[in-house]
Structure 1
Amino acid sequence: MPLRVTFVAAARSAPLLAERFDDDRPLDRSGWDEVQRAAGELLPLAGAELRYCSPTPRSRATGDVLGYTPLVQPALRDCDMGRWRGLTLGEAMAREPAAVDAWLADPRATPHGGESLLAFISRVGGWLDTRPAQDGGRIVAVAEPGVVRAALVYALKAPPASYWNIDVRPLSTTTVTGRAGRWNLRFDGVSAQPSRA
């Protein structure tokens, strides 16, 4: 049986346009409320054999509120944004427009002095590839949306630039199945029943 890894995107700690690079802020009140509302759907994932989370306060809190008691995984930290840490994209663009353009255009670029997009995707993919896979098993990992995007790009062997085209909403789930070097995206939805005429 293949290994099944379900990523749960951490609840939000700020409005989307106020999100900051390497954001270490805890969940705000609306984030806590979002987790409470989604708990009914996400609680069954607590039955996974292994439960992990990103080291950010909001990822840990999301996992704890959902009853996962996740183990913190440093490899699941968000992209190291160097001197842009704590800035919004708009603030970084206002300070260093050419550097932001270079970073967005080239997955190997590190104008901020941190980690390149390619290195980030490779780090997250390396974590995914080293998960234990004895006769299948289920893993749940609560992570920042950027980490989930990086995992998907890696799992699908997609070009790094596709990272910018993946939208991961807070508390959404994404599942990949397989084993090291061979991953498949799995959609878990309710299938439509044929209509009776």
Structure 2
Amino acid sequence: MTRLFLLAHASTLATEQARFPRDEPISERGRREFDRASAPVVDRWVSAPERRTVGTVHAFGFAAEVEPALRELDYGTWAGTAMDDVPESELAAWLTDPATAPHGGESVEDLLGRVYDWLAAQDDGYERVAAVTHPSVVRAATVCALDAPATAFWRVDVRPLDVVRLHGRPGRWTLRLH
């Protein structure tokens, strides 16, 4: 039975300023967050390719394989933009319709499909894997594991350095709270 520890990266300036992120490093606040965090005991570390995820792994004192499927949701032309600067009608459409990607990026449904495929490809062995990724990807994995509808995506709250534990095998994941 595979055990996955999905870790959201530490804070960045985009997190602190309510902006859609670009590829940016962990902020000073993010570095301080490690005072309350502990690294899971695992057999293998994987990471999304962005600087903030790789930096989170390094801050825990480990190296990781880069896994492109764990990359951040593509925010398209919104990357780097403050949420308040996005037209309200476009933002509302994106937040309520999982198939909508009016900003030229990736829809929530596309993200869910990518994460579902990654979960399905996990080895059905007895391995503990820490996957450092983004809140959006952790949300998506949670929705996939629970077989919840895409509309449930925004109902999952993930903060910096939060951990979601899944155990099981491809096609049958169980969420474990701790």
- Paired positions, count: 178
Counterpart code for 2:138:
V
Matches within 5 A, 1:68-107: 68-92=62-86, 96-107=87-98
Equivalent residue, structure 2, for 1:192: none
Q: Distance in 1 between matches of 2:72 and 2:82?
A: 14
Specify the alignment match of 2:110 in structure 1. Answer: 119
Q: Does 2:153 align with 1:156?
A: no
Q: Which runs of 4+ in 1 moved over 4 A?
A: none
Residue 3 of structure 2 aligns to a residue whose secondary structure is strand
Where 1:140 maps in the other structure, the secondary structure is strand
Deviations 1:10-44 (A, max 9, x none): 10012745133243121111211212x135x22xx
Question: 2:172 maps to which residue?
Answer: 182
Instruction: Specify which of 42, 52, 59 is matched with residue 58 of structure 1.
Output: 52
Q: What is the TM-score of this pair, normalised by structure 1?
A: 0.84
Letter in 2 for 1:151: A
Q: Which moved more, 1:2-11 or 1:19-28?
A: 19-28
- Structure 2 unaligned regions, length at least 5: none
CA RMSD of aligned residues (A): 1.6
Q: Which amino acid counterpart does residue 166 of structure 2 have in structure 1?
A: V
Residues 34-71 of structure 1: per-residue CA shift (max 9 Å, x gap): 12x135x22xx2x4222111112111111011023111
User: Once the two structures are aligned, what percentage of the paired residues are identical?
Assistant: 37
Shift in CA distance, 75/49, structure 1 to aligned 2, threshold 3 Å: same
Greater gyration radius: 1
| Whole-Å separation in 2 of the counterparts to 1:23 and 1:182 | 33
Note the alpha carbon deviations across 1:104-159, whole angstroms, 9 max, x for none. Answer: 1211112111111101111012112211222x211101111111111101111111
- Distance in 1 (CA, whole Å) between partners of 2:112 and 2:121 is 14
